[in-house]
Structure 1
Amino acid sequence: MHRILFLPLVACLACGPSRNTEQKVEDKAPAAPGTYAHDAEFLRKHTQNVIELADESREAKILLSADYQGRVMTSTAKGDSGVSFGWINYDLIAAAEKKAQFNPVGGEERFWLGPEGGQYALYFKKGDPFTLPHWQVPAVIDTEAYAVSLSSPTQASFTSKATLTNYQGTEFRVGIARNIALLDRNMIGERLNAALSDSIAVVGYETENKIQNLGDAPWQKQTGLLSIWLLGMMTPSPETMVIIPFHPGPDSRAGITDDYFGAIPPGRLVVSDSVLYFRCDGKHRSKIGLSPRVAKPMAASYDFRNNVLTLIHFSVTADAPYVNSTWKNQEHPYAGDVVNAYNDGPQPDGSQLGPFYELESSSVAAELAKGETLTYKQMTCHLQGDYKLMRALARRVLGIDLDNLNN
C-alpha cells in the first residue's frame, strides 16, 4: 500500500528563497494547457484555499478547494504532465467576481442539495414560476467557503451550516460535513473487483458526505425532504462516451428519462437491454437519468482519444424515495433519478458554458428527526493505459466491449 502525502498548495512567502531559487522559478516554462500542472498553477494563482493530496510516487494527485465548498477541482493519474480530468471555468475564476444566480466554476465532484425544481424545490422561491430567470442556486453550495476541519496524510474534511427554505416555505437548518480520501491502487482494485496492471495509471478517491437536521422539527415528506447530490464536471474529448449499466426487465426502458432538454438525436443515445451509451463530446446539450428501479450502483465514461476510463460508484436503494428535480409541479415528487449524465452544448443563441460533461448521483431523500444525519458516499476513479488493457478492464468491470463503441 502506498503512503499518501498531503501537500497544501500555498507558497511560504516568509521563507525567503535564495536568489538561485527565484531565478529557477522565473525561468520555469508555463505548464501546457490540459495538464494537471497547468490547472494547479492556475488555481494557486487565482484562489486561496487549495489542498493537494498525492500518493508517494507523485503520480496520483487530486486538488481540493475550500473556497468552493470542498469540491474536488481536478485530478491526474500521471503526475504534473498528465491529463487534468476535471473541467475548470478559467474565465469565471480569473474574473474574481460572483454571479447572481450561479457560479459554475467547475470541478470534477461538487456537493449540492436536491431537489432543484418542483413543489419542494430549493432553487425557487414560493410562488415563482419554474423558469430560468427565477432559478437561484443557494449560496451554501455556490459561493460560500467551507471550513477545513481536518487534514491528514490521506484526507481532508470540510464543514458548513446553512438555513434553507423550500418552495413550500419549509425551513431547514442543515449541518454539512464532507470528507475526501485519496485511495491507493490496491483499494481501487478491490472496489472494482479487478486486478489493475502496473501499466494502467490510476487515481481515485472517495467522498463521504453528510447532512444533519439541526432544527427542532423532523423533516417529513409532506413538507419536503432534502437529498445529497454529487455532480462531476469532466473535460470531454470528441470521442467520449458515457456508459451506464442497468438492471434488465420488460419495463426497464420506462425507468430511463432522456428528454430533459428535448429529444436526443439518433446516434447520440443507444439503449440496449442492460446498458446505455450516451455520447458526451460537449457538442449537444442533453441529459439522461435513471430511476432507482433500474439503476446499478455505477456509471462510467470512456475517452477513446486519451484511453481514459472514468467510473463513479455509489449506493442505490430501489424501494426508497428519491427527490424529483424537474422544473414543474410534480405528480410524483419522490420518484426522481439516482444517477444522471449531462452533455454540454451550444445554447440557442450560440453561446456555451463549457464544453464539459457531467456524471451525477443522488442519495435517498432524507427523512431525518432532530439531530439525525444522512451519510452518502461516492467513489470516483480514472484509469488510463494501453487500449488493449483498457478494453479488458472495461469488459471485467462493466461487462461491455469497447470495440463495439468505437466503430
Structure 2
Amino acid sequence: MNKKLVGIMHGLFVSAALLCAAPKPLTFDEDVAFLKKHTDVVVLKKGERQAAVVPQYQGRVMTSTTGAGASFGWLNYKVIEKGLLSEREAKGALEEHIYVFGGEERFWLGPEGGQFGIFFKPGDPFEFAVWKTPASLDTLPYRITNQTKDSVAFAHDCSLQNHSGTEFSVGIERTVRLLDDNGVKDVFGSSVPDHVKYVAYESDNVLKNIGDQPWTKEGGMLSIWLLGMYKPSPGTTVVIPFKDGPEAQLGPAVNDAYFGRVPPEYMAVSKSTVFFKGDGTRRGKIGISPARSKGIAGSYDADGRVLTLVTYNAPKKTDGYVNSMWEIQKQPFGGDVINSYNDGSPSPGLDPLGPFYELETSSPAAALKPGESIRHIQRTIHIAGPESELDAIAQKTLGVRLHEIKEVFRK
C-alpha cells in the first residue's frame, strides 16, 4: 500500500468497499472448501498443522491453522468468487489495477514507485489512475516444480520494465514448507512449550537475473517483497523491536510517513520497541530501516490469544533497500526492510478495503549480474495457548511482556 492511494482512490473504493466486506470468522476447513470451488489449492500438512497454498495466486499462502480450527489468513471472498475479469469488465474497477485476493503471505517485487518503480510505465505520473500491479505478481499462475505432503515449490519467468525504462528478465523460484519443532526452536529461543499449539512455515524465495544485462543502481534494481494479510481485531497490536541508538547514527526509529503521521492512539514508541494497532480501523503504515531492524516483527491478538512472529534472513552486507514511495526519490535505495500496514477508511465516509492488517519484509536491492541470484527467506509462526506460555515466548523473541502489549493503548 502507498500514500498516494489516499484521496486518489475515492471513486473506486466506493464500489470496492462493498465487494471487500469481511465475512464472519471462518475455520480453516471452511476457507479451504471455499477456495477449492474457485481455484486449485495445495494443502500442506504436518501433523495437525496445515497451510493452504494457491498456484494461481503466485504460490501464495492463503491461510494456515494450528489444527484447532482457527484460520489465520484474511481472504477476500468477493474478489475470489468473481475471479479474473476480462479487460472490458475490469475497466474502471479496482481489478484494473490489482486483484486483492488476500492471503497471509504473498510474493511481490519492489520497488513499487519512484524512478525505478515497476508499477508505473515510463513517463507515467505517480497517480493511481495509471498504477498497475504487474501480472506476474497479480494474475499469472506459478508452475509447480516439486511437491511433498508438507512442501511445494514453484517457478516463474517474466519480463518487467521500470519507470526509467530499464528492462528486466526475471527468474523466480519459491518454495513453501511447513516447519516442525526443530524448525522453530531457534526462533523461540528454546524448545516448544508443551501447552501451546503452533503452525509455522517458511517461504524460500529466489530472484535471478536471467537476462544479458546487469542490474545496477544507475538503471534500477529489484527486490523480493513478502506481504501478509491477517484478520484484525480490536485487541490486535503489532510489535516490532528495533536497535536502540542515536538518530544521527542509525536514523529515525520508525518511518510513519507513508500515509501521513500515525497518531499516538495508533502508534507508540518506547526506547527499543514500536507498537502499532492492527485493528483495521484506521489506514496507516510504518517501516523499520535495516540499520534499526532486529530481523523480527510480530503481533498479539489479545482477544484470540494468538502470538504471530515473522522473521527473515538478514544479510550482513547489502546494496541498500529499494524505496517504494510514489515520487522521484532522492534516496532510491534508502528503503525499509520491515513494514506493517493497518487498513482503514481511505477517505471520510468510506469503508476500508478489508479490513486487515499486514506484516511485510523485503530483501536487499538485487545488484545482479547475468546468471546471479538473491535469496530471501521468511518464517511465519502463529502460536496459541495459555498467556503464561505466550508471555515467555514474547519476552524471548520481541523483548516485551504481554501485559505491556495489552496495556500500551489503554493509557
Shared fold (TM-score greater than 0.5)? yes
Tell whether 2:70 aligns with 1:74: no
**CA–CA separation in structure 2 for the residues paired with 1:255 and 1:366:** 25
1:160-309 → structure 2 map (5 Å cutoff)? 160-251=156-247, 252=250, 254-309=252-307
Q: Which moved more, 1:184-193 or 1:97-106?
A: 184-193
Tell whether 2:51 aligns with 1:53: no
Tell whether 2:105 aligns with 1:118: no
Count matched residues: 371
**CA–CA separation in structure 1 for the residues paired with 2:265 and 2:353:** 24
**CA–CA separation in structure 1 for the residues paired with 2:193 and 2:51:** 21
Partner of 2:136, secondary structure, is helix
Shift of residue 255, structure 1, vs aligned partner:
4.4
1:25 alignment partner in structure 2: none
User: 1:150-180 CA deviation, whole Å, 9 max, x = no partner?
Assistant: 0013310011111000001000000111001
Q: Which amino acid aligns with 2:339?
A: N
Shift of residue 254, structure 1, vs aligned partner:
1.2
**CA–CA separation in structure 2 for the residues paired with 1:264 and 1:130:** 23
Q: Which amino acid aligns with 2:234?
A: P
* Residues 1:336 and 1:111: Cα distance change in structure 2 (over 3 Å): same
1:301-320 → structure 2 map (5 Å cutoff)? 301-317=299-315, 320=318
Partner of 2:379, secondary structure, is strand
Shift of residue 392, structure 1, vs aligned partner:
1.8
**CA–CA separation in structure 2 for the residues paired with 1:248 and 1:143:** 41
1:301-380 → structure 2 map (5 Å cutoff)? 301-317=299-315, 320=318, 321-348=320-347, 349-380=349-380
**What is the percent sequence identity of the aligned residues?**
44
Partner of 1:406, secondary structure, is helix
**CA–CA separation in structure 1 for the residues paired with 2:253 and 2:193:** 36
**CA–CA separation in structure 1 for the residues paired with 2:211 and 2:26:** 45
2:130 to 134, 144, 148: 134
1:43 alignment partner in structure 2: 35
Q: Which amino acid aligns with 1:316?
A: A
User: 1:214-260 CA deviation, whole Å, 9 max, x = no partner?
Assistant: 11111111000000000000111111000000000021561421121
Q: Which amino acid aligns with 2:43?
A: E
**CA–CA separation in structure 1 for the residues paired with 2:264 and 2:109:** 32
For the 8 Å contact 2:58–2:106, the answer to whether it is kept is yes
Shift of residue 50, structure 1, vs aligned partner:
0.6
Shift of residue 185, structure 1, vs aligned partner:
2.4
Q: Which amino acid aligns with 1:55?
A: K
Gap runs ≥5 in structure 2: 1-23, 86-94
**CA–CA separation in structure 1 for the residues paired with 2:214 and 2:253:** 30
For the 8 Å contact 2:300–2:405, the answer to whether it is kept is no
**CA–CA separation in structure 2 for the residues paired with 1:84 and 1:129:** 40
Tell whether 2:76 aligns with 1:84: no
1:21 alignment partner in structure 2: none
For the 8 Å contact 1:292–1:318, the answer to whether it is kept is no
**CA–CA separation in structure 2 for the residues paired with 1:151 and 1:404:** 42
**CA–CA separation in structure 2 for the residues paired with 1:386 and 1:191:** 19
Shift of residue 191, structure 1, vs aligned partner:
3.1
Select the structure of larger CA radius of gyration.
1
Gap runs ≥5 in structure 1: 1-31
1:16-31 → structure 2 map (5 Å cutoff)? none
Partner of 2:56, secondary structure, is coil
Tell whether 2:396 aligns with 1:396: yes
Partner of 2:123, secondary structure, is coil
What is the aligned-residue RMSD (CA, Å)? Answer: 1.3
Instruction: Please report the TM-score for the alignment, with normalisation by the length of structure 2.
Output: 0.88
Q: Which protein has greater RCO, CA pairs closer than 8 Å, 6+ apart?
A: 2
Shift of residue 194, structure 1, vs aligned partner:
2.3
For the 8 Å contact 2:242–2:253, the answer to whether it is kept is no
Instruction: Please report the TM-score for the alignment, with normalisation by the length of structure 1.
Output: 0.89
Q: Which amino acid aligns with 1:363?
A: S
Q: Which amino acid aligns with 2:336?
A: D
For the 8 Å contact 2:187–2:397, the answer to whether it is kept is no
